[in-house]
Amino acid sequence: MKCKAAVAWGPGQPLKIEEVDVQDPQAGEVLVRMVATGVCHTDAFTLSGEDPEGIFPAILGHEGAGIVEAVGEGVTTLKAGDHVIPLYTAECGECKFCKSGKTNLCQAVRETQGKGLMPDGTSRFSINGEPIFHYMGTSTFSEYSVVPEIALAKVHVDAPLEKVCLLGCGITTGIGAVLNTAKVEKGETVAVFGLGGIGLSVIQGARMAGADRIIAIDINESKFEMAKQFGATDCINPKNFDAPIQQVIVDMTDGGVDYSFECIGNVQIMRQALECCHKGWGESIIIGVAGAGQEISTRPFQLVTGRVWKGSAFGGVKGRSQLPGYVEDYMNGKIEIDPFVTHTMPLEQINEAFDLMHEGKSIRTVILF
């Protein structure tokens, strides 16, 4: 079949709307008609050329929701008409990682996914016979995408796909990092660096966990109002202080926070986030994604004296088994999504969504197909 997709032809170039050929789903694969997709900073990161795994030409997008159009041979858990969220972290249930009980990082299709290919080593997308690469196994910036069965979460048929698409990455990542990775407890103190879709979701998660004090940090003060709405108790701009921000936070909190979260992708801020943690027990969770060649550093003494550095991917959430519950938590009012959708637009305007993000004017733009 043919459909419309936004193609990334090369690093730093605007996406171009093209008619692409989409091959039928093969064994174990599913054809999804996309209904909506968010635009996450990671899409911009890969488009910038900073992603060591970034390959072009590709169809980006990994925060989508859609409806199963057709299934390939041997697919048993999904059928045409099912409502689904594509997962960049699959869940096969059988690999060493899935069985470990220690991680959500299923590796069943990760290797080919990182090469922009389906598990059989080929692409389902082409233009004039030339392959176009998949992205994160999801390629949601396309009217139709082919996704492995094990990388689709079946969600409640009544859930509004133009909202729950954001559970395909940003909101789940933030809430999950608090509840699964950090395991924040009632009464604890949290610092959140970066107040985009991820940081605001961390704040939402921290409030759900019952954190007492939630310190929100950003250099764009227009983000503070929404941070407060989600539960931030203090909003600070590092530019307003002479002292390093980690020192400011340590002074504000009688020795440091119990947990901090880096939601920017800046290795200098990752250091600040670690060093604002309380001696003896404070944990810092890295969520932001940093470019090729970037490395983190701190004095080892920071760790010797009990601070802990951790990372979190997709909030530690196992997509097939746990994401349907997140969707239901949205439907029953436990998770907020609507305020995150600051803009909606058709696929043709997708480059404006990237502009809004870079200008700091959006939290999430949702592309409606």
Active site residues: 40-42, 62-63, 92, 95, 98, 106, 110, 169, 364
Q: Counting contacts by CB under 6 A, is residue 312 touching ligand AHE?
A: no
Q: How far is CA 71 from the centre of its chain?
A: 26
Binding mask 189-228 for ligand NAD (x = CB under 6 A): ----xxxxxxx-----------------xxxx--x-----
The option from ligand NAD, Zn ion, ligand AHE, none interacting with 53 (CB < 5 to 8 A, set by class) reads ligand AHE
Residue 92 interaction partner, one of ligand AHE, ligand NAD, Zn ion, none, beta carbon < 5-8 Å per kind: Zn ion
Buried b (16+ CB within 10 A) or exposed e, 199-216: bbbbbbbbbbbebebbbb
Nearest residue to the partner ligand NAD, using Cβ: 196
Token pair in block for residue 210: 């019952």
Chain-centre distance for alpha carbon 322 = 15
Query: Between the CA of residue 358 and those of 173, 208, 281, what are the distances in Å?
Result: 20, 29, 35
Ranges within 273-292 binding ligand NAD (CB under 6 A)? 287-289
| Residue of 8, 226, 232, 264 interacting with ligand NAD (CB under 6 A) | 264
| Phi, then psi, of 150 in degrees rounded to 5 | -75, 0
Residue reference for tokens 């990682």: 97
Q: What is the token pair recorded at 160?
A: 């509004």
User: Among residues 90 and 249, whose Cβ is nearest to ligand AHE?
Assistant: 90
Q: Contact, 259 vs 282, CB < 8 A?
A: yes
Rounded Cα distance, 251 and 70, in Å:
58
Tell which positions 115-174 bind Zn ion, by CB under 5 A: 169
* Least Cβ distance, residue 42 to ligand AHE (angstroms): 3
**Minimal CA–CA distance to 315: which of 211, 168, 137, 112?**
168
Residues found near Zn ion in the complex (CB under 5 A): 40, 42, 92, 95, 98, 106, 108, 169
**Which residues sit at the interface with ligand NAD, rule CB under 6 A?**
40-42, 45, 169-170, 173, 193-199, 217-220, 223, 238, 263-266, 269, 287-289, 312-314, 357, 360
